[in-house]
Amino acid sequence: MSDLIPRPRLVDQGSGSFEFVPRAVVSGPSDLVDGVRLALAVLDLRYAAPGAGSVADEAREAPRSTSGGASEPLSGAITVERDEGLGPESYALTVTSEAVRITAGDAAGALYAGQTLRQLLPPEAFRSTAVPGVRWTVPCGRVEDSPRFPWRGAHLDVARHFMPKREVLRMIDLLAAHKLNRLHLHLVDDQGWRVESRAYPLLHEVGSHRAQTTTKPYREGPEGFDGTPHGGYYTLADLAEIAAYARARAVTVVPEIDVPGHASAIVAAYPHLGADRSKPVEVLDRWGISPVIMSPLPETVDFLATVFSEVIEALGSVPYFHIGGDECVLDDWAASEEITAYQRSLGLDAPADLHAWFLRRLADVLAEHGSRAVVWDEAFVSGRLREDTIVMPWRGMPVGRRAVAAGHDIVATPVFPLYFDYAEASSSEEPLAIGDATTLDDVLAFETVPGSLTPEEASRVLGAQFQLWTERIPDGRALDYRAWPRGCALAQLTWSGDADGFTTALPAHLARLDAYGVEYRPLAGPHPWQRGGTGLRAHHPGEVKVRDIMRHVEELAHDADSTRPSLA
């Protein structure tokens, strides 16, 4: 029981083991049993409703062949009970040689108890189906567990490089296996719009694809393009499927429609929504910050209100909705007589004030749907947010400290060490990354709650998430490489609260990822086929250092009027 990731709050290992038999029985309330069966799908557990003793008895009394050919009774089943006093996502797991008992605070707690049992089984429990010759045994003992933070997540950018639905569902499975409970889907950016809209179909018909993609590796590298179209989008039915799949695995999907900047794909589809209607706009084929920005006029708010409604209806339940607000170039607002007149009619002094007003207006729209707005930290720097708006301080925890002091909840998302599009080593063997290096040890050393916070301010730190920006993550294999095992470390920090025991437990956990088929980055460095080589995927170590970038963005964040940080 010492190699569990994330580490449970309390582990008391006993002597002996319990052996599961084919189609063993699990009994208890159906909503709790569903999570256990899902986590232990490889065992093909049978469900027995509470009180259905005949089914459980059948399983216990069926013969089991011994090595000498004799038969012996099968030992018992899993029982699951509810105890709301344990709290959300919490559970207690007791394993004896005769049976397994789970007590859970809710369905998520039961699922996580099942995930702990899965890790206690041989690594083959992470395969898609049972393989022959495996004894499905778990050690006897007791585990008591609950999470340190309520927000434990991953951000997946599907706008820069589209990830097919299968990759999103697979990511949800991996999050659940690590007791991570938020999937932040970055659904739109300059390089693509990724959601069907029945009200505004040009969004997916025009905005979902670009003619080509830049091959320029860094800011100062040679300009070039691959000449290959790229695109894709999720239908509203796809979104509904993704959300239902996630809910069954205790994962909340947090959609992001990033506005008013990062808007090339939107304005390419509907030019009248742009602040400067004199310029033709296409879906962007290169990385970096575009000056294209949406108009903040009422027509734009109405447009976004309709699109938000479509996304919320498809997802079914959206407690959190991210509206971006970052890296906005406000020049076109300042140059527009119409927008300036509107700004003045609202009693606002400057475009930065209008930026804040616009995001608050959208947050009010979302509140009517029961959703809390989430923003990147530039929106907080602008001020005037709704009090219930959640801030993601990507430019560093100093911004986060100011946000919690102002009464906002935050989710820690700093570039260093939680942007996993940075390479894990400053080495030419690494595949192309935005820069280097953010190591596994860097993630493990991250302090989610800065020690300078007061207890009240600390209570406003909801948790943390790692970011997978996909400019340089073109497919699922690259996604695996960037996400794991650094994502395992973030899972431990947000669930357990610290890194104790992680390094010792990791080798056994990597065997589980091997069985699952995860193409993670090996601790000793990339496999030969994972290396960047000398072509377009070549990494040039040292050209962009994450610590230098972090110093730069923290300096920008100290200026409360800064709305144009530069991180290309």
Q: Which residues are catalytic?
A: 189, 262, 327
Per DSSP, what are the bridge partners of residue 153?
Answer: 182, 465
Query: Strand, helix or coil at 382?
Result: helix
For 220-240, the DSSP string reads TSPP-B----EE--B-HHHHH
Query: Please, are residues 409 and 390 in contact by the beta-carbon 8 Å criterion?
Result: yes
Supply the Cα-derived Rg of the chain in whole angstroms. Answer: 25
Provide the token pair at 424: 């894990």
State how far the Cα of 387 lies from the Cα of 337, in Å rounded to an integer.
31
State how far the Cα of 175 lies from the Cα of 412, in Å rounded to an integer.
17
Q: Could you give the count of Cα atoms lying within 13 Å of 435 in the half-sphere of its Cβ?
A: 18
Which of left, alpha, beta for 396 (phi over 0: left; psi -120 to 50: alpha)? left
For 44-113, the DSSP string reads -PEEE-TT-HHHHHHHHHSEEE-TTS-EEEPP--EEEEE-GGG-TT-EEEEE-SS-EEEEESSHHHHHHH
State how far the Cα of 281 lies from the Cα of 190, in Å rounded to an integer.
10
State how far the Cα of 180 lies from the Cα of 185, in Å rounded to an integer.
14
- Using N-to-C axis directions, what is the helix angle for 502-516 and 486-496, rounded to 10°? 120
Residues with Cβ within 8 Å of residue 488, at least 6 apart in sequence: 5, 178, 502, 506, 509
